[in-house]
């Protein structure tokens, strides 16, 4: 039986506070499910949790908005644009729902998931990505499901009517607590039977049981009791209440330190509150930390406190993952009787729960825990046992897997769109191998696009496509300020774009040994690329390294000198062959270019002397001599044995050369 290929669609991924998404996907991969991960938007920070590197599936991002608009126009021209659904949603849900934008994103991911042979798409959060999934299903026929959390459908989505439509279109809806399940069923009564509770779980491999946890975590108690709290600095996390409680505790006979980990819009006001209450020596705002650093803070604390409350807009915590982590670390937990928290923390057994928004009750509970280390020890041990019995990820992910398997085993339906026409693809018509994963491919590496220095690149890409050259054009950076002409609009759908600079920086930081290797290699070169060009291209190389293995690329053609800097790094990392086209005006020195081209199997350059020195399969680029007299072109053709006088013949011979190089042959 072919294993399930499951798509995950996020509005934005990764998000440092959403560790439950990471844990769930890692658990599914361990169960043998192949994941295909898509994110509409790139992350807002380059900070990553270290264990994300264990995910086998790479994250694929939607192309820039300019490209999505081109895809929209193409979809309208070929009848794949969900026009009636878009118009209905615009009319019913208004401009804030951004129905056209959701549909544009869906056009891209419908093709992407279908090309990857995805059987089912799962979405975390009943908001933008779930709205996009409705359009994705309309376009592709791929079924989807949703995990709803709390704030997403209670506040962010902004429409119970749209929530009901999402639930009706989904195969099933997973609610992270009994509390959120009951709320969803009340708001979506017609879908009540498909709304089931699926707790977020935790991977206890990251919280190994040792002598410290056996003793409740107190292998070396802090000389000054330490309270730790973790979360975004927003109103519903209740940090203002926690600081007020610390103010009530700040008496000479009670010693403590409180560390608050996280960042957010309330940082300045919380710092002012700390100073106003003369708590600067006791309460510390530590800002964002890596996951390992956060867990170390939690493990070495005496008390974990989270004073969750409800903000003025009704937003609230529902099932804070950080409480799971604190209990797994055998910490005594102090929190509030709010939403799904009592489903996790048993008052008087694994911790203490107080009414939300009551700083006095919070201070009294903190004082009790500070004065009674044995009580902290008992709560910590009991919390660890509760996690082991009820919230290990292998247990909590089981109902999700059961619902996914049931969805994928149902007989496929021949769905129709809003006009009554058959959908473009259904589970029965999608061909998992349609993208020829095993085929050898040629990467056309484009440093920046559109690029005025490469005026004929679009023609070249079209000529290669016309001749069935197995090229994959990848753009390292989108030139969003450029206006696309007709030729650019024609080739735009065939281009793949690397994610933005934030993702590039995150990948660079996540691979320090590789970064060091690339920098050491450059230091040993007698002729070096300028530092700014090298660092930019090195980040592209780190991002491309994994995806090229997935694409089975055997040859890279660098379309410019800057792209050649990246291509040669990939040559060393992956063992692929490289060719290059060198543009007339380049930022790199002639010495560097000559040495770089000596590592290539061939290419096109604009300097006759350099061609003569390199020999072999290097020849003068036709695009450089397109205005030269025909007699001159004939002489060059005779010397290089590449016909520059007839465009069609030139491109045919170039395509044949690329194919030979991709098969490891030389001319």
Name the helix (H) or strand (E) containing 23.
helix 19-30
User: Is 453 exposed, middle or buried, given 0-12, 13-18 or 19+ CB atoms closer than 10 A?
Assistant: middle
Residue 117 lies in a domain: yes
Residue 300 lies in a domain: yes
* Domain interval for residue 544: 441-662
pLDDT digits (tens, 9 = 90+) for 254-284: 999 999 999 999 999 999 999 999 999 999 9
471: CATH: 3.40.50.11930
> Residue 411's pLDDT is what?
59
Same domain, yes or no: 280 and 135 = no
CA dihedral 349, 352, 353, 355 (to 10 degrees): 140
* Mean pLDDT value across residues 10-18: 89
In whole angstroms, what is the distance from residue 535 CA to residue 513 CA?
Answer: 15
pLDDT digits (tens, 9 = 90+) for 518-542: 999 999 999 999 999 999 999 999 9
pLDDT grade, residue 184 (50/70/90)?
very high
Same domain, yes or no: 557 and 572 = yes
Residue 76 phi, psi (nearest 5): -65, -40
pLDDT digits (tens, 9 = 90+) for 65-117: 899 999 999 999 999 999 999 999 999 999 999 999 999 999 999 999 999 99
Residue 421 lies in a domain: no
pLDDT at residue 215 tops 80:
no
In whole angstroms, what is the distance from residue 374 CA to residue 365 CA?
Answer: 14
Same domain, yes or no: 160 and 12 = yes
pLDDT at residue 417 tops 50:
no
For 9-18, 156-165, 550-559, 646-655, which range has the lowest pLDDT when averaged over its residues? 646-655
Same domain, yes or no: 481 and 526 = yes
283: CATH: 3.40.50.2000
pTM of the model: 0.85
Q: Is the peptide bond before 416 cis (omega within 30 degrees of 0)?
A: no
pLDDT at residue 651 tops 60:
yes
Same domain, yes or no: 290 and 384 = yes
Same domain, yes or no: 403 and 365 = no
pLDDT digits (tens, 9 = 90+) for 574-608: 999 999 999 988 999 999 999 999 999 999 988 88
Residues facing residue 41 across a β-bridge: 12
Q: In the chain, pLDDT over 90 holds for what percent of residues?
A: 71
> Residue 414's pLDDT is what?
40
> Residue 219's pLDDT is what?
46
Same domain, yes or no: 191 and 219 = no
Residue 417 lies in a domain: no
Residue 343 phi, psi (nearest 5): -75, -15
Count of domains observed in the chain: 3
Tokens representing 318 are 């529902």
- How, if at all, do strands 257-261 and 283-287 pair? parallel
Domain limit, last residue, from 361, 390, 419? 390
> Residue 550's pLDDT is what?
75
Cα 103-107-112 angle, rounded to 5 deg: 140
Same domain, yes or no: 217 and 126 = no
pLDDT grade, residue 422 (50/70/90)?
very low
Residue 450 lies in a domain: yes
């Amino acid at each position: 039986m072919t294993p399930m290929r499951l798509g995950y669609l996020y509005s934005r991924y990764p998000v440092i506070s959403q560790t439950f998404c990471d844990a769930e996907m890692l658990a599914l991969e361990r169960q043998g499910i192949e994941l295909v991960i898509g994110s509409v938007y790139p992350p807002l920070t380059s900070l990553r949790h270290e264990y994300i590197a264990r995910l086998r599936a790479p994250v694929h991002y939607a192309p820039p908005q300019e490209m999505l608009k081109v895809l929209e126009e193409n979809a309208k021209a070929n009848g794949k644009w969900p026009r009636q659904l878009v118009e209905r949603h615009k009319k019913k849900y208004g401009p804030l729902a951004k129905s056209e934008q959701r549909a544009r994103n869906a056009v891209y991911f419908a093709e992407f998931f279908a090309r990857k042979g995805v059987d089912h798409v799962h979405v975390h959060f009943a908001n933008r990505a779930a709205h996009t999934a409705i359009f994705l299903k309309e376009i592709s026929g791929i079924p989807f499901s949703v995990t709803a959390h709390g704030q997403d459908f209670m506040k962010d989505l902004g429409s119970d009517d749209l929530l009901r439509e999402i639930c009706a279109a989904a195969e099933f809806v997973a609610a992270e607590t009994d509390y959120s399940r009951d709320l969803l069923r009340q708001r979506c009564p017609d879908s009540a039977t498909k709304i089931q509770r699926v707790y977020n779980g935790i991977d206890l491999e990251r919280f190994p049981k040792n002598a410290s946890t056996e003793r409740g975590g107190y292998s070396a108690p802090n000389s000054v009791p330490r309270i730790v709290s973790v979360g975004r600095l927003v109103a519903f996390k209740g940090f203002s209440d926690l600081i007020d409680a610390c103010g009530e505790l700040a008496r000479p006979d009670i010693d403590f330190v409180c560390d608050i980990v996280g960042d957010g819009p309330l940082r300045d006001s919380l710092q002012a509150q700390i100073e106003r209450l003369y708590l600067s020596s006791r309460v510390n705002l530590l800002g964002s930390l890596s996951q390992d650093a956060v867990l170390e803070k939690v493990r070495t604390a005496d008390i974990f406190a989270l004073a969750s409350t409800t903000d003025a807009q009704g937003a609230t915590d529902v099932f804070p993952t950080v409480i799971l982590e604190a209990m797994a670390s055998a910490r005594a937990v102090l929190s509030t009787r709010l939403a799904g928290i009592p489903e996790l923390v048993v008052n008087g057994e694994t911790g203490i729960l107080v009414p939300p928004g009551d700083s006095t009750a919070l201070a009294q509970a903190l004082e009790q825990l500070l004065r009674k280390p044995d009580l902290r020890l008992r709560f910590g041990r009991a919390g660890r046992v509760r996690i082991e019995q009820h919230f290990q990820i292998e247990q909590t992910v089981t109902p999700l897997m059961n619902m996914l398997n049931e969805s994928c085993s149902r007989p496929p339906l021949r769905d129709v769109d809003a006009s009554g026409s058959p959908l473009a693809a259904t589970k029965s018509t999608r061909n998992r191998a349609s993208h020829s994963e095993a085929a050898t491919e040629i990467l056309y590496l484009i440093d920046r696009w559109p690029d005025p220095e490469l005026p004929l690149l679009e023609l070249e890409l079209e000529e290669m496509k016309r001749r069935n050259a197995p090229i994959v054009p990848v753009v390292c950076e989108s030139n969003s300020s450029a206006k696309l002409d007709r030729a650019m609009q024609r080739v735009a759908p065939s281009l793949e774009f690397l994610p933005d600079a934030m993702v590039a920086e995150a990948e660079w930081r996540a691979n320090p040994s590789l970064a060091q290797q690339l920098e050491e290699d450059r230091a040993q070169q007698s002729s070096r690329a300028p530092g700014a060009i090298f660092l930019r291209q090195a980040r592209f190389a780190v991002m491309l390294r994994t995806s090229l293995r997935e694409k089975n690329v055997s040859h890279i053609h660098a379309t410019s000198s800057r792209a050649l800097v990246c291509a040669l790094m990939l040559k060393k990392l992956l063992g692929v062959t490289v060719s290059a086209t060198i543009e007339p005006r380049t930022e790199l020195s002639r010495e560097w270019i000559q040495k770089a081209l000596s590592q290539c199997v061939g290419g096109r350059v604009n300097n006759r002397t350099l061609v003569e020195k390199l020999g072999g399969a290097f020849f003068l680029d036709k695009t450089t001599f397109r205005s030269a007299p025909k007699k001159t072109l004939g002489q060059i053709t005779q010397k290089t044995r590449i016909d520059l006088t007839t465009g069609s013949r030139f491109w045919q011979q170039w395509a044949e050369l690329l194919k030979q190089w991709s098969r490891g042959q030389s001319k």
